[in-house]
Amino acid sequence: MPNTRPALTPHGRKQRRTEQRELVRASIEQLRTSDGWQAYLKARRRFSSYSWRNVLLILSQHPTAHHVAGFRKWLELGYAVQRGQHAIKIWARCAPSHKRMQAWRNAGADPDERPRATYKLVSVFAQDQVAPLPPPAKPVPLTAPIAEISGDSHQDLFAGIVGLAGEIGYTVCVCDTGPADGTCNRATHEIKIAERLSPNGRLAAGIHELSHALVGADEQAPKLTYAQEELVVESIAFCCCQTVGLDTGANSIPYLTSWAESASLDVLEQTVELTARLADRIEAVLVADPAAAQPAA
């Protein structure tokens, strides 16, 4: 079916860009409150395969979203979008068209002139905007089980923490740490985890202390105050534990996010970008198949 949508006028394109910038700005603004930051962390777990920008866009437009997909994808999953639902807008990567690629090849295929991918806002819908299709359709489940942090269900994952620490020159020791659950010494490159903790508790503490080490080793990390680094580290630990299904909280996050109330949008953006980047790195060693952490979107 041919595309009959009229082309945008210069004024229309300008207005659309303005609306898009406002949508992005509003999504970042929500990080100024403790509730907003915690909501982002919980949303990131649900949308771990999405960029942090898209997680914020989903959260700002539809806070109750646990899972999103396009209209046709929902049909494949065994659900149908209900009549009258408003779409959620997120960024989607658009590869160069075959026509542009062929024109580039015909012109000599100069690597410096290779057509680049573009991004556009596309429509998706959340799980509470759809309904299961009747038989013979078999709607896929959209939730995953959560394990207690006091158990030993995830003890095999601790080896991944030790391995990643070793990659950046750190040793990990399970030993007596006094009242602390764990410590990270950047001078000696030592991470210590309290032996009194349960295996799941050691994993959570190990993620926290490894996050401190990764922040210190990350060349792209902005200069952080104590509160900012603790917020980043607590956020990373919360995200990673949620991704692997550990029931852990973010108890210190409400206090630590007080700085965000007066922080500039640039600082907020840098902080959430660092959090997402380092959480991705840890999750890569915890979850061999990222698609297994949540239903495919």
Which tens digit of pLDDT belongs to each residue from 77-116?
889 999 999 999 998 888 888 888 889 889 888 888 888 8
Cβ 263 vs Cβ 256: under 8 Å: no
Q: Which residues contact 168 (CB under 8 A, 6 or more apart)?
A: 213, 214, 217
- Decide: 71 and 81 in contact? Cβ < 8 Å: yes
Residues of the chain with pLDDT under 70: 1-8, 12-13, 16, 45, 48-49, 143-149, 226-227, 247-263, 288-297
Q: Which residue has the tokens 């898209």?
A: 54
The two structure tokens encoding residue 168: 């950046």
pTM assigned to the model: 0.60
* Closest residue by Cα to residue 251 from 46, 76, 111, 41: 41
The pLDDT assigned to 293 comes to: 40
Distance CA 196, CA 72 (A): 50
Please tell me the distance from the alpha carbon of residue 235 to that of residue 53, in angstroms, as a whole number: 16
Query: Three-class SS of residue 179?
Result: coil
